[in-house]
Amino acid sequence: MKLNKYTGWILPAAMALLFAGLYSCANIVPPSGGEKDITPPKLLSMSPKDSLRNQKVSKIVLHFDKFVELTDLQKNLDLSPQLDIQPSVVAIGKRVEIKIVDSLLKPNTTYRISLGNAITDNREKTPYGNFRYTFTTGDYFDSLQLQGNVADVYGGHPDTGAIVVLYPEPFNDSMLLTKKAMYVTRVDQNGHFKLSGLPDKSFHIFAIADADDNKMYGAEERIGFIAGSLQPKPESDSTSITLYSSKARTPLAAVKDTTVIAKPLTVGKIISTDKNAQVYIVQADSAHLERETFELNKPLGILLNTIVGKIDSSKIYLSYINTGGIETEGRRTISTDSSRILIHHRWEPETVYTLRLVKGWALDTAGKELPPAKVSFRTKRNEDYAMMNIHIPAAYRADSFVLSVYKDQDSIYQQTVRDSVVTLTLLDPGKYTIKIIADGNRNGMWDPGNFWKKLQPEMIFPHQTTVDLKPGWENDIDFVFDPAVLIAPQQQQSALKKKAAFER
């Protein structure tokens, strides 16, 4: 047979196309998976049914439409009243089993079990929220309640991390540390709580910041209490109580003026004349005299790497160039802390200062001299700082109240209220909080509560908004305390803040 002249290359080309097609068919692209299924598990059935009477329920089985698991069970599981042995809860495939030691159940008692958000699907962790189950061992359901709010006195906001517990009469103080409460509930995101299904008995109520999730009071945890016992109310009663939680803290020492002691810094001029010298740092920018860099509201620090045994203040000189161009000796005082020597002076703004440390000005504990030095620096402008006039209402103008002003967590002012207006100058720009302390014992500071001595914490009244100070501005602040800020829902607090900002 005679072959066409193209036969030699057509056949190999056809074979190549065939193999390429087969290869592309073998490489299957996986599907994208689609959107995540974020729908919560759906409860299909529950056995036995909810709200049974005259029953000691020992096992509850829940069936869901998808595979489930348990998350943060210890935190979410609540049984009221509590038993000495907690229920066991397990997730098996699409069902959850809850087992209760029925021999511990008391007669004529209403039990409520809650799993919070513990039940989630096993893929996207979407919770089946707030599962609750109720049964009674008697022929009726207890229907009384106690409700209210928990406020962190020191923080000046709702205490959203607390649990509220009830101990029945008879009660003694040691039970807080040794015995589980009868009823327990968690406060919500607004600091609100409600204990429902209570019997007609007298209870002692406590708010506890349950850091270890054991539903009992620990000596280092915040606690709020009401002296004496309370009687639960009908559901129709809107009576609300407030528990003020606090724990013992070392009270901040009163700051006598607006001078803030700076923390040790490593910036500044390092003084060392030889390799064996005792090195120290004068904490001022001496390399750029044309720049205003030194703070007007802080002392000049000399950061040490040794312990000073002796200081000769007559050999420490501070001078500056006054407005007439004449060098003038500055009046200064000297103090020390654990790592520094501090030179205090009422600094003039936009002024060049010179610190002279003459030979023999300081000795270490071994009698070795610290080397002499001469350091010059320029201070900042008044316009770099803010000023605040705080107008105090007449209700707080007494020696039983203390005004406290904070920048972040640092106390910059803490004094007994004596005047209608308190003026603070040379304030660093930033956000400030203002509080007034009800200083009942007139010791000039805040005292926390003490449950064992039945002492409530001294009340703290926070100004309703944070004050944002900007450089070069003089701010007039009318102090306003609104109790709703402590216990209001988050949206109400936000509205209060916006209203106060608008009226300023």
462 forms beta bridges with 435
Q: How far apart are CA 417 and CA 347, in angstroms?
A: 27
Arithmetic mean of pLDDT over the chain:
84
Strands 144-152 and 241-245: parallel
| Residue 16 predicted with pLDDT over 70 | no
pLDDT band, residue 254 (cuts 50/70/90):
very low
Q: Domains in the chain, ordered, with CATH?
A: 43-136 (2.60.40.1220), 144-245 (2.60.40.1120), 269-381 (2.60.40.3710), 385-503 (2.60.40.10)
Between residues 246 and 248, the one the model is more confident about: 246
Q: How many CB atoms lie within 10 A of CB 312?
A: 13
| Residue 212 predicted with pLDDT over 50 | yes
476 forms beta bridges with 389
Evaluate whether 316 touches 305 at the Cβ level (below 8 Å): no
User: Tell me: the pLDDT tens digits for 310-352?
Assistant: 999 999 999 998 888 888 999 999 998 778 999 999 999 999 9
pLDDT score for 272:
63
| Residue 270 predicted with pLDDT over 50 | yes
pTM to 2 decimals?
0.67
pLDDT band, residue 409 (cuts 50/70/90):
confident
What average pLDDT does range 251-276 have in this prediction?
Answer: 48
| Residue 220 predicted with pLDDT over 90 | no
Q: How far apart are CA 349 and CA 330, in angstroms?
A: 14
Q: What is the residue type of 185? A: T
Q: What percent of the chain has pLDDT over 70?
A: 83
pLDDT score for 261:
36
Evaluate whether 49 touches 57 at the Cβ level (below 8 Å): no
pLDDT band, residue 230 (cuts 50/70/90):
very high
pLDDT score for 500:
39
pLDDT score for 208:
93
- Can you point out the beta strands (E) in 312-409? 316-321, 327-329, 333-336, 340-344, 352-357, 362-364, 373-378, 386-391, 401-407
Please report where in the chains the tokens 């501090």 appear, as a residue: 342
